[in-house]
Each structure stands twice: as structure tokens, then as C-alpha cells.
């Protein structure tokens, strides 16, 4: 069995990597279009967006059902214009949300990699601390044995 000599505090500090902020690194790498995609992805899945679409739909359908006939612009019951606009919104949002989700996935992978690096570094430091404690315990036992033998 080989006895490992524990690292000193100075050696630990010298080996320690400076922490990096993965969130800032990721944000700085994004293009303007990718930032727009993330903004839209982040806001489409909110209750605010749902309420906006719900309100727009209720207003549109109510107007075209209950308004005076000469002011209606999308005939009941087909609502062709409403269906067209709704479908266009969906068609535009689907790929945009997928782009945003891909970008969020890359960010999550970068965060996981940074977490792994921190965990490996912490494991090394904990192992060194345990070796120091083990050596201190040995020293204490030696001192106690010497005191008992006197």
C-alpha cells in the first residue's frame, strides 16, 4: 500500500481553475436571431401569451358573430381569415420554438459540463482534506502512544 502525500493548501490553490460563468459565455456566443428565438420561445409558453391568444380569439369571434352585419369582416361560421391567421402563427412558431429549444439544450449541456468540472475539482480537494485528516489522526495516535509509554 502506497501512502499518498497530501497536497498543501498552496498546491491546491495553484491547481484550482478559476470558475467560469457558463451563462454569460453562452449568452455572448448567441447571434441576434438566436436571442430573438430564445425570447420568443421563453414567452410563448407563458400564461400571458395564452391569455393574449385567448383574448384575441374571443374578441375576433365575438365581433364577427355579434357585430352589425355590415361591420363583420370574417363571416360566421367559417371564420376563414381567423383560421388563416391562426395557422400562419402556428406555422411560424413551430420551427422557431424548436430552434429556441435546441439553443436551450446546448445551454443545459454547457451548464452540466461546468458542473461536472466543479465536482471533479471538489472531489480532488475533498480527497486531499481526507488525506490531511488521516495524517493528523496518525500523528495524534503517535503522540498518545508516546504519552502512554512515558
Alpha-carbon gap, residue 18 to 114, rounded angstroms = 12
Q: Grid coordinates standing for 67? A: 357585430
Low-confidence winner among 9-13, 17-21, 30-34, 134-138 (lowest mean pLDDT): 9-13
Alpha-carbon gap, residue 126 to 116, rounded angstroms = 15
Please give the pLDDT value at position 4: 63
Alpha-carbon gap, residue 4 to 88, rounded angstroms = 67
| Distances, alpha carbon 72 to alpha carbons 17, 60, 78, in Å | 67, 10, 13
Q: Grid coordinates standing for 119? A: 465536482
Alpha-carbon gap, residue 110 to 25, rounded angstroms = 9
pTM for the whole thing?
A: 0.66
Chain centroid to Cα 2, Å, comes to 43
CA angle 14, 140, 145 (to 5 degrees): 150
Chain centroid to Cα 102, Å, comes to 12
What size, in residues, is the chain? 150
Given a cut of 80, whether residue 12 has pLDDT beyond it is: no
Q: Grid coordinates standing for 30? A: 448567441
Give the residue extent of every domain in the chain.
29-149
Confidence of residue 128 (pLDDT cuts 50, 70, 90): confident
Given a cut of 90, whether residue 81 has pLDDT beyond it is: yes
Confidence of residue 72 (pLDDT cuts 50, 70, 90): very high
Question: Mean per-residue pLDDT for 40-64?
Answer: 94
> Which of the pair, 3 or 130, is modelled with greater confidence?
130
Indicate the SS3 state at residue 105. helix
Amino acid at each position: 500500500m502506497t501512502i499518498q502525500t497530501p497536497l498543501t493548501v498552496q498546491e491546491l490553490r495553484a491547481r484550482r481553475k478559476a470558475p467560469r460563468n457558463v451563462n454569460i459565455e453562452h449568452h455572448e456566443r448567441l447571434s441576434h436571431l438566436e436571442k430573438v428565438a430564445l425570447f420568443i420561445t421563453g414567452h410563448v409558453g407563458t400564461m400571458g401569451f395564452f391569455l393574449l391568444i385567448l383574448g384575441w380569439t374571443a374578441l375576433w369571434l365575438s365581433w364577427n358573430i355579434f357585430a352589425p352585419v355590415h361591420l363583420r369582416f370574417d363571416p360566421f361560421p367559417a371564420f376563414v381569415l381567423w383560421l388563416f391567421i391562426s395557422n400562419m402563427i402556428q406555422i411560424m412558431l413551430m420551427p422557431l420554438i424548436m430552434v429556441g429549444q435546441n439553443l436551450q439544450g446546448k445551454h443545459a449541456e454547457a451548464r452540466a459540463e461546468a458542473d461536472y468540472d466543479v465536482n471533479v475539482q471538489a472531489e480532488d480537494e475533498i480527497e486531499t482534506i481526507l488525506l490531511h485528516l488521516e495524517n493528523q489522526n496518525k500523528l495524534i495516535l503517535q503522540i498518545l502512544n508516546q504519552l502512554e509509554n512515558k
